[in-house]
């Protein structure tokens, strides 16, 4: 990503952006509220850096998520087929409102609560498996398989049909430039997977979210086939991908801040607030979904023209000293409110209660099991996935 705007914007080194996005975004935030940048796709975008501006824009209806509001040639994201693309994160009201209303009839607090015990059991089973070894890669053995199991339980994927969704989601969020085919292959595989799954649920409905979504109606309103499929895809993708990396990033943050880890071990009742702080400190989504202004919009004194691509940097907002005191410090004693890690406004994370519950259970089980948990490699040896859109570790070696 390169930047060019008024003043003297600092240059951005893509490798640094992956290794330490907070340093890069911090410099950009200090240099100005909005920067015209060249994204990793080679196209121009506007990056918003300050907390107040980011929060306001997240809830501003003039910032559309519908790609039809992008100016011609101004944006080309991953070309998804309509059966995956008709999802909430590409939509504005009234379609968005209609679909969210339908989903909330099926994705109820009761359904989330029913997952609590299964999540605990899965966490314990995964920890049982690695306990004898004394060392493990926590991403591969814990942070990834836990959300896979949860999302499959939620959607109603039978154990024999579960897959390691990591290869698919990795192919989409952090494509390998040497293998441009992998993203397309992942899309094909996901489409095939969901087509089969939906057919199975229609034939034999069960007590799971997918069956409930098939059945859900609102007077004459119901989900179209594309909407249903896209929703299942979004829930799998957003629910799985983000949770793996929040658990991973949170564990790393605690292991890197022994005083905060000790405070949490001493008083596990602080876990709820700690998860909020960990989501602020190093959440899995450095950027919100791209948005397109439907008219020229002034942000921080800069006019962003209609139809251009706007990137709201949650990572930059979370380290804004005007909003958070001593923002680069992990402090589980903060009040925990105000972060934007789960979004804000009408697109606020649909799975937020599940995300919180899952992360809390994962951290509680891990810390209780391994009193001597420590990082297995020096910080400089950690490898991050090569994506500016998704912050997560390739692996997290630990000893215990
Ligand atoms: C730690 C975990 C998670 C994080 C950090 C996270 C983050 C987010 C964020 C930032 C947004 C808003 C994007 C924007 O406005 O640009 C969002 C939306 C969404 N999330 Fe999550 N999420 C997590 C877990 C989940 C889970 C577990 C599910 C489902 C089971 C889920 C489903 C969704 C859906 C469907 C939306 C779109 C909502 C809409 O457009 O109305 N997420 N999430």
- pLDDT tens string 73-86: 878 776 788 888 88
Residue 93: pLDDT band (50, 70, 90) is very high
Q: Cβ contacts of residue 355 below 8 Å, gap of 6+?
A: 239, 242, 243, 246, 342, 349
The answer, yes or no, to whether residue 106 has pLDDT greater than 70, is yes
153 token code pair: 């339980």
pLDDT for the residue numbered 61: 98
Asked whether 278 and 250 are in contact (CB, 8 A), the reply is yes
What whole-number distance in Å separates Cα of residue 150 and Cα of residue 161? 14
Residue 373: pLDDT band (50, 70, 90) is very high
**More confident of the two residues 187 and 319:** 319
285 within ligand 1 shell (Cβ under 6 A): yes
283 within ligand 1 shell (Cβ under 6 A): yes
Closest listed residue to residue 66, CA positions, set 93, 90, 95, 94? 90
Probe residue for ligand 1, chosen from 148, 342, 391, 392 as the CB with the greatest number of ligand atoms within 8 Å:
342
Residue 38: pLDDT band (50, 70, 90) is confident
The answer, yes or no, to whether residue 103 has pLDDT greater than 90, is yes
Other beta carbons within 10 angstroms of residue 365's beta carbon come to: 20
Report, as an integer, the average pLDDT of 331-335. Answer: 95
Angstrom distances, CA of residue 113 to CA of 60, 120, 353: 32, 12, 9
Ligand 1 centroid from CA 284, angstroms: 11
pLDDT for the residue numbered 395: 97
311 three-state secondary structure: strand
Q: Which domain holds residue 325?
A: 2-399
Angstrom distances, CA of residue 3 to CA of 24, 31, 382, 396: 11, 11, 27, 32
- In tens, the pLDDT along 41-66 reads 778 899 999 999 999 999 999 999 99
**More confident of the two residues 197 and 80:** 197
Report, as an integer, the average pLDDT of 128-143. Answer: 98
User: What is the domain count for the chain?
Assistant: 1
For ligand 1, what atom is nearest to the CA of residue 58?
15
Residue 97: pLDDT band (50, 70, 90) is very high
Mean pLDDT, all residues of the chain: 92
pLDDT for the residue numbered 300: 86
Q: Kindly report the CATH number assigned to the domain that includes residue 33.
A: 1.10.630.10
Q: Cβ contacts of residue 20 below 8 Å, gap of 6+?
A: none
pLDDT for the residue numbered 10: 53
Percent with pLDDT over 90 in the chain = 74
350 within ligand 1 shell (Cβ under 6 A): yes
246 within ligand 1 shell (Cβ under 6 A): yes
Reduced DSSP (H G I as helix, E B as strand, rest coil) percent helix, strand, coil of the chain, to 5: 55, 10, 35
2 exposed, middle or buried (CB, 10 Å; 0-12, 13-18, 19+)? middle
């Amino acid at each position: 990503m390169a930047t060019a705007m008024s003043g003297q914007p600092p240059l951005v080194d893509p490798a640094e952006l992956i290794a330490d996005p907070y340093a890069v975004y911090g410099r950009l935030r200090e240099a100005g509220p909005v920067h015209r940048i060249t994204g990793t796709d080679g196209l121009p975008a506007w990056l918003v850096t300050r907390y107040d501006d980011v929060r306001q824009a997240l809830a501003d209806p003039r910032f559309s998520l519908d790609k039809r509001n992008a100016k011609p040639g101004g944006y080309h994201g991953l070309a998804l087929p309509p059966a995956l693309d008709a999802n909430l994160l590409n939509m504005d009201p009234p379609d968005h409102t209609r679909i969210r209303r339908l989903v909330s009839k099926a994705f109820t607090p009761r359904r989330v609560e029913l997952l609590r015990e299964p999540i605990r059991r899965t966490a314990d089973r995964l920890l049982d498996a690695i306990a004898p070894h004394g060392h493990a890669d926590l991403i591969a053995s814990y942070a990834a398989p836990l959300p896979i199991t949860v999302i499959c339980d939620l959607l109603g994927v039978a154990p024999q049909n579960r897959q390691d969704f990591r290869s698919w989601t990795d192919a989409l969020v952090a494509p390998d430039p040497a293998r441009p085919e992998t993203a397309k292959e992942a899309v094909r595989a996901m489409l095939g997977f969901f087509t089969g799954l939906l057919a199975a649920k229609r034939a034999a409905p069960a007590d799971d979210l997918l069956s409930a979504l098939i059945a859900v109606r609102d007077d004459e309103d119901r989900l179209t086939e594309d909407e249903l499929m896209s929703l299942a895809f979004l829930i799998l993708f957003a629910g799985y991908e983000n949770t793996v990396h929040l658990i991973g990033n949170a564990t790393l943050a605690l292991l890197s801040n022994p005083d905060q880890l000790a405070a949490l071990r001493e008083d596990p009742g602080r876990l709820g607030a700690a998860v909020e702080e960990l989501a602020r400190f190093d959440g899995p989504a450095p950027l919100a979904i791209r948005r397109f202004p439907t008219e020229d919009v002034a942000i921080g004194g800069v006019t962003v023209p209609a139809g251009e691509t706007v990137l709201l940097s949650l990572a930059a907002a979370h380290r804004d000293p005007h909003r958070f005191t001593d923002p680069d410090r992990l402090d589980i004693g903060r009040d925990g409110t105000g972060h934007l890690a789960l979004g804000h406004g009408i697109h606020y994370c649909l799975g937020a209660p599940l995300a919180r519950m899952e992360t809390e259970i994962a951290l509680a089980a891990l810390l209780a099991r391994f009193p001597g948990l420590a990082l297995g490699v020096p910080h400089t040896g950690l490898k991050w996935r090569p994506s500016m859109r998704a912050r997560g570790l390739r692996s997290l070696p630990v000893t215990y």
